[in-house]
Amino acid sequence: MSCGEPHETDCSEVLDHLYEFLDREMPDSDCTKFEVHFGECSPCLEKYGLEQAVKKLVKRCCGHDDVPTDLRAKVMGRIDLIRSGEPVPDHDVAEVPGRD
Helix 42-62 to helix 28-40 angle (10° resolution) is: 120
pLDDT digits (tens, 9 = 90+) for 26-35: 999 999 999 9
pLDDT digits (tens, 9 = 90+) for 27-57: 999 999 999 999 999 999 999 999 999 888 8
The pLDDT assigned to 100 comes to: 45
Alpha-carbon distance of 86 to 38, in angstroms, equals 30
Please, how many CA atoms are within 13 Å of residue 9, restricted to the half-sphere of its CB?
20
- Which range, 11-20, 64-73, 86-95, has the best average confidence (pLDDT)? 11-20
In this structure, of 4-13, 21-30, 32-41, 83-92, the range with the lowest mean pLDDT score is 83-92
Helix (H) or strand (E) holding 59: helix 42-62
User: Radius of gyration of the chain from Cα atoms?
Assistant: 16
pTM for this structure? 0.57
